[in-house]
Amino acid sequence: MLLITAATGKIGSIVVEQLSARGIAARALIRNPGQARDLPGIDWMIGDFEDGASMAAALDGVDVMYLACGESQRKVELEKQAIDAASSARVTRVVKVSASDAHDDNASDFRRGNGMIERYLRDSGLAWTILRPTMFNQSLDLLAIAQKGELLSPQGDATTPFIDVRDIADVAVAVLTAENHHDRIYDLTGPDALTQDALAVVVSEVCGKPVTCRHVTDAESYRGLLEAGVDEGMARSMIAHWQSYRARPAALISGWTEILTSHPPRTLRAYLEECVAASGIG
């Protein structure tokens, strides 16, 4: 039996759809009963990482747990609690969605936090599989960029091999349903590593509107975040995240996405073209 946590998230929602379509029974953990969907073979469980009783019920008889958590300043604490619950329930393996460059000494709170969770999982005694995707195609607000005609970038010349959440879900289903992925880390990328300047060119070409990239300093970014209502702690964390991007070596393209899914990863351009077709931009 599989347990899918964060079953309404960008990746988890696709994972449960794919499992249902393939006739693979699974449990899906949600916090709100209204989030349940009519998917054959999916047993929706109400629970929370902090609720030990609900986690014990959700994990009863489970062999493999898919572990993900929405953005939260308590992400490390919450995922550790989920790992402890899986260990108590004698789950065989945990498949964790992490992040690229996840190390417990990374300057970025997001990457450092994922690195800390990875280490905790590896030291737990459970078998594990770790997925490290790069930035999602779906993280781009195409409409806002196209309307403004400007892409603000704090990332300097750093490159990003954007990956589609559907490809991450494809990988997750592949490793959840096979036994030959124990104690493996998979770096997942899309097929193209783009600078923000190159990204602006692609957006401009796809939208048929001029879009330029304007590089901003950390101070400008910080002020903009505060003006947008982001609290100071989160703003500092985001600045550190972007600094870690600029400091890292040039991003490499990984072949694991295609190897594990048996299909080429979706390109960012193809995703943007889908957005244009759906929204009527242009």
230: in domain: no
199: in domain: no
| Residue 66 bridge partners (DSSP) | 4, 95
Residue 68 identity: A
| Contact between 107 and 218 (Cβ < 8 Å) | no
178: in domain: yes
User: Which domain covers residue 50, as residue numbers?
Assistant: 2-135+163-190+252-266
User: Does the pLDDT of residue 282 top 80, yes or no?
Assistant: no
Between the alpha carbon of residue 176 and those of residues 3, 129, 164, 179, 215, the distances in Å are: 10, 9, 19, 8, 40
Tell me the average pLDDT across 112-139: 96
As a whole number of angstroms, the distance between CA 107 and CA 269 comes to 30
**Exposure string over 29-63, b if 16+ CB within 10 A, otherwise e:** bbeeeeebeebeebebbebbbeeeebbeebbeebe
What's the structural domain count of the chain? 1
As a whole number of angstroms, the distance between CA 176 and CA 121 comes to 16
Tell me the average pLDDT across 245-256: 82
85: in domain: yes
42: in domain: yes
Residues 233-249 pLDDT 10s: 888 988 988 888 787 76
What's the predicted TM-score (pTM) here?
0.93
- List of long-range contacts for 69-76, beta carbons under 8 Å, 24+ apart: 69/5, 69/6, 70/6, 70/9, 73/233, 73/234, 75/113, 75/114, 75/117, 76/113, 76/116, 76/117
44: in domain: yes
| Contact between 29 and 6 (Cβ < 8 Å) | yes
Tell me the average pLDDT across 147-155: 91
Tell me the average pLDDT across 2-29: 98
| Contact between 113 and 241 (Cβ < 8 Å) | no
CATH number of the structural domain spanning residue 62: 3.40.50.720
Mean pLDDT score of the chain:
93
106: in domain: yes
CA 228, 233, 238, 242 torsion: positive or negative? positive
148: in domain: no
Residue 42 identity: I
Lowest-pLDDT choice from 82-86, 194-198, 243-247, 263-267? 243-247
Spatial CA neighbour of 151 closest among 228, 225, 218, 210: 210
Residue 23 identity: G
